[in-house]
Amino acid sequence: MRTANSIRFSSNRADFFSTLNRRVNDYFKNNNISRYANAEMKVKTVFMYSLYFVPYILLLTGTVVNGWAMWGLAAVMGFGIAGIGLSVMHDANHGAYSNKSWVNNMMGYSLNVIGAGAFNWKVQHNVLHHTYTNIHDVDEDISPRGILRMTPHSAYKAIHKFQYLYAWFFYGLMTIVWVFHKDFARLTRYQKDGMVKKQKANVVAEWIILIATKTIYFVYILVIPMVVMDITWWQWLIGFATAHYIAGFILAVIFQPAHVIDGSEFPLPDDQGNMENSWAIHQLHTTTNFANKNRLLSWYVGGLNFQVEHHLFPNVCHVHYRHISKIVKATAEEFGLPYKAEPTFRGALLGHAKLLKELGKRPAPGFVLASAQ
């Protein structure tokens, strides 16, 4: 099984990214624009937090007591969870929200506020996914998950034949798994494989933060409602499951089509761990934009439908992606490189389903798994 430390990107055609980087920097400099959050971003931050906490307060204060209306507020909280994750936490944990690290750290803990762990996310997402995008055994976003097969290099199971049908149900469980299991499992694994040390983090401190914030989360999301509200345990469970199912589904259908879609590439290093392309060109081959003209979708999902721009410039706040996308596309075309984009969100979802169906086919005889090579 390969590891991140064993992989090296090529230095070939480094002029592409140096040229692109200079042009993007010139855009901000010549227009006297900060690459960090602007007024629009700050307003959005307030909106996303309100989308989550206003329904919570309405439920807690007994302002809404009708059962169906309470269920509806729980659903709205689900949109708030996803909105905070996509539009606030994401930028902050990339260091793109502010030029002040303490602001990024504070806003990054938005993830802990909604039940997950910021440190684990930064290792899994910033380090492993953004560096080794779509590389089997390293990018945890496409790593083998038993019931889902996200790469042609993963082990095949007969049940995968139907994954293009059932994957959508399991996507909704994403944040529920984060809350109860994944954070603990990942921190344990990152501690064992040295990733915590590599990030120059204190493992004891990270465990304390994770346990403390999980405790605070369950106090305000479970204990207080059960004490203050006139509800049964199963009513609480329905509301909790509804909020997180909606959040998990939204997050999955935004992130998955960006890298697991018809036309996606899953490059592997050679026997010495060398990749064919440079890091920046690798991102172009493994990343796809979608629905770039859909302003409402782009606003809600934190510009992550501009996934190419995000992967090349993760330290730029997403409110600027639409503008620099013209520069990225033109430069890629100038260098004869791919700039993958699906015109509509519906098309992206269909493309994702198509690849899931393709990956659900039994590999041809003689196929050798990458991890066994």
Domain boundaries, the chain: 4-360
Tokens at 360, concatenated: 């659900």
pLDDT given for residue 373 in this prediction: 39
Residue 205, CA atoms < 13 Å, CB-side half-sphere: 8
d(CA 230, CA 244): 22
pLDDT given for residue 2 in this prediction: 63
The answer to whether 86 and 301 are in contact (CB under 8 A) is: yes
pLDDT given for residue 372 in this prediction: 39
pLDDT given for residue 1 in this prediction: 57
pLDDT given for residue 32 in this prediction: 97
pLDDT given for residue 311 in this prediction: 98
* 59 CB-near residues (< 8 Å, 6+ apart): 70, 73, 74, 225, 229, 239
One pLDDT digit (tens) per residue for the chain, 373 residues: 566 678 999 988 889 999 999 999 999 999 999 999 999 999 999 999 999 999 999 999 999 999 999 999 999 999 999 999 999 999 999 999 999 999 999 999 999 999 999 999 999 999 999 999 999 999 998 886 679 999 999 999 999 999 999 999 999 999 999 999 999 999 999 999 999 999 999 999 999 999 999 999 999 999 999 999 999 999 999 999 999 999 999 999 999 999 999 999 999 999 999 999 999 999 999 999 999 999 999 999 999 999 999 999 999 999 999 999 999 999 999 999 999 999 999 999 999 999 999 999 998 775 555 543 3
pLDDT given for residue 351 in this prediction: 98
pLDDT given for residue 299 in this prediction: 97
| Pairing between β-strand 289-290 and β-strand 341-342 as defined by DSSP bridges | parallel
The answer to whether 137 and 1 are in contact (CB under 8 A) is: yes
Q: Read off the pTM.
A: 0.94
